[in-house]
Amino acid sequence: MLFSDVACPWATVMVLRLRAARSDLGLEGTVALLHLANPLELVHERPLARRIIDAEIPLCAAATPGFGWSLWQGRLDEFPVTSLLAVEAVQAARRQSETAAEELDLALRQALFVASRCIALRHEVLAAAATCEAVDVRRLAADLDDGVARAATSRQARAAREVAGPCTGYLVAPDGSGSCNPGVTSRWLGPDLPRGVPIVDDDDPSVYRDLVSAAAPAVA
């Protein structure tokens, strides 16, 4: 299980590395990545902070260069201050299948971090969904309009605060153990925002092969 926000750069690194490790190990279709909601705005009780996200993107791009990362290229007033609808949409997609949720989660991350789309908007969420083979877009739109996944999103966010604290990329293994941004040790250098910069002290992406391998027997 991964508690995360689609607008969290480091959680996106986790998603990309988990998917890559699963593919390398030939475990697609055997190991599912269960996406659970942990919206940044509920953790910090403030809008999405573009300054922090833009500061983290270069580090995340260095860790996963094949994703096509970009700093925000849209108008400044169009940067999404909320990701709650997008996170809720992933939970609504889970009502269709875990595959649908996985595809939509990745598509929303691509929309924000690659294409600079405002994923706070309903039509942008549905546009991302339209790129996903496993997602029934009409059903997703109806479920979003009915709010069928809102309660589940709120419950998961509360559970995330209990187990993950402020971490919005928290992986829970089948044995119940948990880790925040596995393999990465980072810190903020200098004073708090708007000054200072994030830095990575250590990065070991090989841990993801171990995490995926350990999950395989539990779902086989």
Nearest residue to 139 (alpha-carbon basis) of 203, 89, 69, 213: 89
Phi, psi (5° rounding) for residue 197? -145, 150
* Residue 220 in this model has a pLDDT that exceeds 80: no
pLDDT given at position 176: 87
For residue 157, what is the enclosing H or E element? Answer: helix 150-164
What's the pTM?
A: 0.94
The C-alpha angle with vertex 40 and arms to 191 and 112, in degrees rounded to 5, equals: 100
Query: In this structure, which CATH number among 3.40.50.11740, 3.30.300.30, 3.30.450.20, 3.40.30.10 belongs to the domain 2-176?
Result: 3.40.30.10
Phi, psi (5° rounding) for residue 183? 85, -10
Q: What is the pLDDT of residues 2-13, one digit of tens each?
A: 999 999 999 999
Nearest residue to 141 (alpha-carbon basis) of 153, 124, 162: 124
pLDDT given at position 20: 97
How far apart CA 187 and CA 202 sit, in angstroms, is: 10
Rounded to 10°, the helix 207-219/9-24 angle is: 70
How far apart CA 105 and CA 132 sit, in angstroms, is: 10
Q: What is the pLDDT of residues 59-78, one digit of tens each?
A: 999 999 999 999 999 999 99
**Which pLDDT band holds residue 190 (cuts at 50, 70, 90)?**
confident
**Which pLDDT band holds residue 29 (cuts at 50, 70, 90)?**
confident
pLDDT given at position 171: 95
Q: Which residues pair with 185 in a beta bridge?
A: 202
| All structural domains of the chain with their residue ranges | 2-176
Q: Burial of 204 by CB count in 10 Å (0-12 exposed, 13-18 middle, 19+ buried)?
A: exposed
pLDDT given at position 219: 43
How far apart CA 184 and CA 171 sit, in angstroms, is: 13
Structure tokens at 54: 């833009």
How far apart CA 87 and CA 120 sit, in angstroms, is: 10
For residue 184, what is the enclosing H or E element? Answer: strand 184-189
Structure tokens at 133: 């083979």
Q: What is the pLDDT of residues 75-113, one digit of tens each?
A: 999 999 999 999 999 999 999 999 999 999 999 999 999
